[in-house]
Amino acid sequence: MKGFIKQFVFVMPAICILLLLISGCSKKDDDGKSGEMVLRYSLISKVTNIDPGNIQDVYGSQLVSQICESLYTYHYLKRPFEIIPCLAADMPVISEDKLTYTISIKKGVFFHNNPCFPDGKGRELKAQDFVFAFKRIANVKYASVNWGGLKDYIVGLNEFREYTKQFKKEYDVDYSYDVEGLQALDDYTFQIKLAKPWPQLINDLTGVVTAPVAKEVVDYYKIDAPVHPIGTGPFKLKTWQRGIYIELERNEHYRDDFYPTEGELSDIENGYLEDAGKQMPFVDRVIYRVIEEYQPAWLLFLRGEFDRLYIPKDNFDSAVDIVSKAPKEFMKDRNIEVTIKDQPSLYYLGFNMKDPVLGNNKPLRKAISFAVNREQINELMYNNRWRIAHSLVHPLLDGYNPELAELNYMAYDLSKAKELLREAEKIHGGSIPPLKIGWPGSDPFSRQFAQLIQRQIEKAGIKIEINYLDWPTYVDMMNKGQHQIFGSGVRFSSPDPLSVFSMFPTKYFAPMGNSFFYSNPEYDALYERAEVMFPSPERAELFHKMEKMVLEDYPAVFTTQRVQYNLHHEWYDNYKPHPFLYSHVKYIRIDSEKQRAYKELLKELKKKDQ
Amino acid sequence: MTAYIIRRLLYLIPIVMGVLLVTFCLFTLVGGDISQQIAGKNADAETIAEIRHEYGFDKPLFLAWDSQFLAHFKKAFTFNFGRALDREKIGEKIFRGVGPSLALTVPMFFGTLVISISFALIVAFLRGTVWDHIIVFLCVAGMSIPYLSFIIFGQYYFAYKLDWFPIFYDPSRPIYLSIILPALIGIVAGLGSNLRFYRTIMLDEVRSDYVRTAFAKGLTARKVLFKHVLKNAMIPIVTNTVLSIPYLILGSLLLERFFGIPGLGYLMIEAINARDFFVLNAMTFIMALLIAFFTLVTDVCYAWVDPRVKFD
């Protein structure tokens, strides 16, 4: 037996050494060997949809915007944000009645090479591809999540949707059915006729949802068309391993597209104009790896295997000094830089106004709002990174009203909350029963967050129960008005503030944007007027009135607005955060010299540590 | 024996039917209609209705030729599970995940089994000595440390600090490289409980009369432990081992998530989070089949390892 023990004690370490050798011998070191510029990103959530017409989430938009282009885009460097032509040759010609948009299309733009085209060669982009893309979203059999954004706006499109109901499958639909409001006047002129003014159309035409789709793609791939995004963009999809890995490669036939030659005054100083006038994209491949846990993403970033990273909450203190907003020594030693991206967004605790306890009791809603300590939320949950929402309209959106901050709608005042609670109890006719908060997610962060809110509100004497829910159940309950209170947030995709105000009209009750079931006839009337108005002082005045109405009615406890801190390595050049532009990858350059030097730097730092 | 196996195989039919009925009721009746979820947050009623039609949620539940239950039944028995909510074929999804899951769990399974049985024999031999106490103490300590701590420490120290292993699975490199560290972590994390379990079994046997007799006859300790004790301890080992085999296919959720192994554990949790009942149905059905089959294998193995077991 002693012999066996000796053998066992010898064999085990030997196996371990063998495994180490296997692992060590197979290490690859291909950075820069092929001379390729490769961008590497981590995604904290998997991309579920890469079909432009059906995209609704940020990750899908970020990915597909590199593959598919739209008629318009945002200027990468200029602030305030400016919309410029992308696939359009110019800005649209808008008729006097604001109902007809005539858009000329750039010539010499080609779809990616793909077997769906004759000889596998991507054909030239035509105005008909835009008509097809819009009709496809309207096709009821395609069941696009984005139909709600087009409904009732384009002449004849609702009728086309009715017409598609007779077909069995999406790809059986005969798209030659004429839609008066969507016309290809010739191969390079696209015309949209509206049933009513739609000032936000130009913003929507910057989104990947309205990107052109070649009919050949749908005819060829049929049911699998949604996983073959074939666009005109600077990159084409090479590999999509769902939930794990996405690889894009440079589109070798990409059109002439040059890095901007002008921007803000500080852009020269910050080095954003060093590549002015050069053909884009700069990188050859883009790799996205889905890493849902923070630790591996963080370690891979420090190892130099990702170029940019969103800072995980638990690593924030070791990465950034929140006062100076500069990287800490550990980061400086590695030449890692910080960028701050203000994200137009609004986070809140929504009240269900149909709820018998909350809906008719404004003092109760107000008491809850005064009981919530937003500063504490920002400190404990976001390392003081986010900003307190003093208004509905984010400072980056048009029509932001800085004066609202002084009116203290978002103040924390526990004694006032208690006072309001007494008033609320009179209205209710007794003590307030425990209120239920529907909370999306049950991971440690979600639990800590919900419990913090619970503790804050309970300090005012209001009992709170938390119902942790998976996302689909949470959304389902929200749409059916089954929550009493719900934690939520929204991110705005254009500088036009109308999307903020579309969260409150009666006609947009959930499942549309109004999950609060807030109904105010006066607000509705103002919204009807504002929604068809182009930006003007008169519209701004309406928005100010509507904003005050909502703030005074307390359909929610508005808490915070997101500010995202990113780290990137020094070789990641030209990165200027833009909250509305997803197609930023083509602007990025990798400094291969600095990238290669990083490995040496790490070795030096390791020696120092020892 | 053959008659027994055939009889047991026939028993599988009602079991599988029962599983199908239960999963259908759970996911369809209790889980509710997921068309709203598929349609997105701001979808209109028409889009939701179209999705209901596309996925067959507008069909009767039971008692019709085109009922949802019969469709569910047909899918399971033809192994044509249809498409997941992300429109990928479920069969392809599962097939793709089996390899990585097994690549991780099979070495973990055999590694844990061999090491814990070997150690169990050693500590049974050394029972009452300092070594026995040290190993038992380490087992209890190992069992007390959360699984996640092993993963976080292992990944940070061995992959990042020492750079001995990849931190995360990189699809451009062979998968076995990314599996070594998680498999080792899995083995070490599972060693405590397994070793204690097998040690108890071995000690029960070591205290038996036949062991005393064997030693009295002058047999070497090695012969007694490996030829007699191990053989007699096989029944609980077989039960523990064979019944674990179906779960290997499910992979290891935490390890897969932290090391990016694209296995079925990951797929299952994603399906739960997304309420993708199509994937969950398929996985549950496959698991039920495997568990039923390996339960039968366990019974057959009893006869193989212990001649006293007879089948009627």
Name residue, tokens 């109760």. A364
Question: Given A525, A541, A561, which residue is the final one in a domain?
Answer: A561
The answer, yes or no, to whether residue A45 has pLDDT greater than 70, is: yes
Same domain, A317 and A349: no
The answer, yes or no, to whether residue A466 has pLDDT greater than 70, is: yes
Same domain, A365 and A335: no
User: What is the residue-wise DSSP string for A149-182?
Assistant: GTTTTBTTHHHHHHHHTT-SSGGGS-TTS--TTE
3-class DSSP assignment, residue A565: strand
The answer, yes or no, to whether residue A525 has pLDDT greater than 90, is: yes
Q: Residues of A with CB below 8 A from B41's CB?
A: 56, 475, 479, 511
Average pLDDT over residues A582-603: 93
Same domain, A205 and A78: yes
Any residues with CB less than 8 A from the CB of A2 and at least 6 apart, and which? Answer: none
Number of A–B residue contacts, CB under 8 Å: 141
* CB pair distance less than 8 Å for A472 and B37: yes
* CB pair distance less than 8 Å for B87 and A5: no
* Beta strand residue intervals within A88-144, DSSP E: 93-94, 100-104
Q: By C-alpha distance, which of B123, B147, B127 is closest to B195?
A: B123
Helix axes B90-125, B277-305, angle to 10 degrees: 40
pLDDT, one tens digit per residue, over A403-448 is 888 888 889 999 999 999 999 999 999 999 999 999 998 888 899 9
Same domain, A203 and A295: no
CATH superfamily of B98-305: MetI-like (1.10.3720.10)
State the pLDDT confidence band at A9, using cuts at 50, 70 and 90: low
The answer, yes or no, to whether residue A2 has pLDDT greater than 70, is: no
Average pLDDT over residues A193-197: 95
d(CA B166, CA B189): 19
Residue A11 lies in a domain: no
pLDDT, one tens digit per residue, over A295-309 is 999 999 999 999 999
Same domain, A87 and A60: no
CB neighbour class for B156 (10 Å; exposed up to 12, middle 13-18, buried from 19): middle
Residue A331 lies in a domain: yes
Q: What is the pLDDT of residue A94?
A: 97
For residues B290 and A561, which has the higher predicted lDDT (pLDDT)?
A: A561
The answer, yes or no, to whether residue B29 has pLDDT greater than 80, is: no
* CB pair distance less than 8 Å for A141 and B50: yes
Looking at chain B, which residue has its C-alpha nearest residue A513?
A: B42
Same domain, A55 and A75: no
Average pLDDT over residues A321-346: 92
Same domain, A90 and A119: yes
Same domain, A526 and A583: no
Shortest distance between the Cα of B221 and any Cα of chain A, in A, equals: 5
- Domain housing A524: 345-561
Q: Which of A143, A289, A296 sits opposite B50 (nearest CB)?
A: A143
The answer, yes or no, to whether residue B262 has pLDDT greater than 70, is: yes
Residue A161 lies in a domain: yes
The answer, yes or no, to whether residue B236 has pLDDT greater than 90, is: no
Burial readout B165-199 (b: 16 or more C-beta within 10 A, e: otherwise): bbbbbbbeeebebbbbbbbbbbbbbbbbebbbbbb
| pTM for the model | 0.87
Q: What CATH code is carried by the domain that includes residue A48?
A: 3.40.190.10
The answer, yes or no, to whether residue B11 has pLDDT greater than 80, is: yes
Which H or E element spans position A250?
strand A245-250
For residues A103 and B213, which has the higher predicted lDDT (pLDDT)?
A: A103
DSSP B295: H
State the pLDDT confidence band at B157, using cuts at 50, 70 and 90: very high
d(CA A503, CA A373): 24
Q: What is the pLDDT of residue A492?
A: 92
Q: Residues of A with CB below 8 A from B156's CB?
A: 295, 299
pLDDT, one tens digit per residue, over A83-137 is 999 999 999 999 999 999 999 999 999 999 999 999 999 999 999 999 999 999 9
Among the residue ranges A243-252, A322-331, A471-480, A509-518, the one predicted with the least confidence is A471-480
* CB pair distance less than 8 Å for B177 and A241: no
State the pLDDT confidence band at B87, using cuts at 50, 70 and 90: confident
Q: What is the pLDDT of residue A27?
A: 57
Cβ-contact B66, B59 below 8 angstroms? yes
Same domain, A396 and A522: yes
Kindly report the average pLDDT of chain A as a whole number: 91
For residues A271 and B227, which has the higher predicted lDDT (pLDDT)?
A: A271
Q: Residues of A with CB below 8 A from B221's CB?
A: 1
Q: Which of A140, A227, A292 sits opposite B46 (nearest CB)?
A: A140
* CB pair distance less than 8 Å for B41 and A161: no
Among the residue ranges A24-33, A189-198, A239-248, B106-115, the one predicted with the least confidence is A24-33
Helix, strand, coil percentages (3-state) for chain A, rounded to 5, are 40, 20, 45
Q: What is the pLDDT of residue B31?
A: 66
Among the residue ranges A7-11, A532-536, B64-68, B226-230, the one predicted with the least confidence is A7-11
* CB pair distance less than 8 Å for B225 and A1: yes
Q: Looking at the 3D structure of chain A, how many domains does it have?
A: 3
d(CA A51, CA A180): 26
Q: What CATH code is carried by the domain that includes residue A74?
A: 3.90.76.10
Q: Which of B118, B173, B274 sits opposite A472 (nearest CB)?
A: B274
Q: Residues of A with CB below 8 A from B167's CB?
A: 296, 299-300, 303, 305
For chain B, the structural domain boundaries read 2-78, 98-305
pLDDT, one tens digit per residue, over B267-280 is 888 888 777 888 98
Cβ-contact A553, A270 below 8 angstroms? no
Same domain, A472 and A609: no
* CB pair distance less than 8 Å for B177 and A22: yes
Same domain, A554 and A595: no
pLDDT, one tens digit per residue, over A357-403 is 999 999 999 999 999 999 999 999 998 999 999 999 999 999 899 98
pLDDT, one tens digit per residue, over B47-76 is 788 888 878 888 888 878 888 888 888 888
Q: What CATH code is carried by the domain that includes residue A440?
A: 3.10.105.10
Q: What is the pLDDT of residue B68?
A: 86
pLDDT, one tens digit per residue, over A206-218 is 999 999 999 999 9
Give percent above pLDDT 90 in chain A.
Answer: 76
Looking at chain B, which residue has its C-alpha nearest residue A474?
A: B37
Average pLDDT over residues B70-96: 87
Q: Residues of A with CB below 8 A from B93's CB?
A: 242
The answer, yes or no, to whether residue A475 has pLDDT greater than 90, is: no
Residue A497: other Cβ atoms inside 10 A: 24
Q: What is the pLDDT of residue B246?
A: 79
Average pLDDT over residues A456-466: 96
Q: What is the pLDDT of residue B238?
A: 81
